[in-house]
């Protein structure tokens, strides 16, 4: 599954606040839920699912990138959310580097194969040095979204 299949401009956020991993995941949950016309209860449920996944091991893959992801009941398709933080935060990453680029995945409970393939695709793009530089140079959500689409086409 391609990034263009799961990411929309509305689910892209540049210069997002976040002082800690927990706060970033909270903000991310609220942002995603709002974009999908959900409510506070759904935002809390998403947050709890993301935190539960982080307890299994950090989704910080290194080089300032995290790919938080979880399965959630009630979703019909995979949703992606790309975020560039205002300031990098400690994410318990494998390389101990703070994270400033986040690509979250919200996956329906029954879509395991698509989930793993999408996760691998995002990781491949985000692990590329030039890709990270391009994303970090973005100054607006629209530019961040368009850059992600260009990186997808080039991959």
Which residue is catalytic, options 21, 69, 79, 115?
69
Q: Which residue, 20, 25, 113, is CA-closest to 68?
A: 25
Structure tokens at 82: 């790309």
Give yes or no: 69 in active site.
yes
**Torsions phi, psi of 62, nearest 5?**
110, 165
User: Do 112 and 137 meet the contact criterion of CB atoms below 8 Å apart?
Assistant: no
| 101 bridge partner residues | 65, 84
CA distance from start to end of the chain: 13
Residue with tokens 């995002």: 122
Active site residues: 69
């Amino acid at each position: 599954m391609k990034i263009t299949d799961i990411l929309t401009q509305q689910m892209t956020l540049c210069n997002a606040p976040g002082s800690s991993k927990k706060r970033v995941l909270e903000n991310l949950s609220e942002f995603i839920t709002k974009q999908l016309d959900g409510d506070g209860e759904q935002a809390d449920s998403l947050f709890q699912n993301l935190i539960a996944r982080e307890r299994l091991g950090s989704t910080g893959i290194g080089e300032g990138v995290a790919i938080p992801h979880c399965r959630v009941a009630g979703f019909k398709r995979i949703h992606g959310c790309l975020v560039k933080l205002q300031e990098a935060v400690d994410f318990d990453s494998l390389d101990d580097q703070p994270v400033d680029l986040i690509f979250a995945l919200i996956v329906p409970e029954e879509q395991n194969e698509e989930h793993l393939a999408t996760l691998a695709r995002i990781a491949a793009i985000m692990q590329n040095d030039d890709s990270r530089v391009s994303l970090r140079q973005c100054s607006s959500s629209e530019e961040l979204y368009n850059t992600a689409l260009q990186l997808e086409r080039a991959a």
